[in-house]
Amino acid sequence: MPDQAAILKPDIVILDFGTNDILSTNKIDPNLEKQVNKAIAKFKAVNPDILVILTTTQDLYKGKTITACMPFRDLMDSIARKNDCLFWDWFDLAGGSRTIKTWNTEGYAQNDCIHLTKKGYQVKGQLLYESFMHT
């Protein structure tokens, strides 16, 4: 990705860790912080003025609540603060614990209760846009 950033020269990059990083294991890999810091550093090496946004994930995997979501949320917030990045708390904005089930019932999340539907991603994108424009 940083190689593409050198060509595309984006002003903003969103690093959306979480779904594949903690949901299946319900734990935070001890190397995750180092990996996120490394990704941020690579983007900032390409463009020191780039705005990096870190996000969180929702908390269900195969119908089970993922307790690592809150420590993960705190880790992403901490990394963002240390690296002069923005932090967008999707977990909280989406409604908090187990609300992905409601998203599914309303047609915004797929039946796996991990991925959103097209309609759900449109809402998520709109919420990100509105959050960004009003901060």
Count the residues in the chain.
135
Distance between start and end Cα atoms, the chain: 27
pLDDT of 2 strictly over 70: no
Name the class of domain 2-97: alpha beta
pLDDT digits (tens, 9 = 90+) for 75-119: 999 999 999 999 999 999 999 988 999 999 999 999 988 889 999
Measured at the CA of 36, the angle between CA 119 and CA 51, to 5 degrees, comes to 65
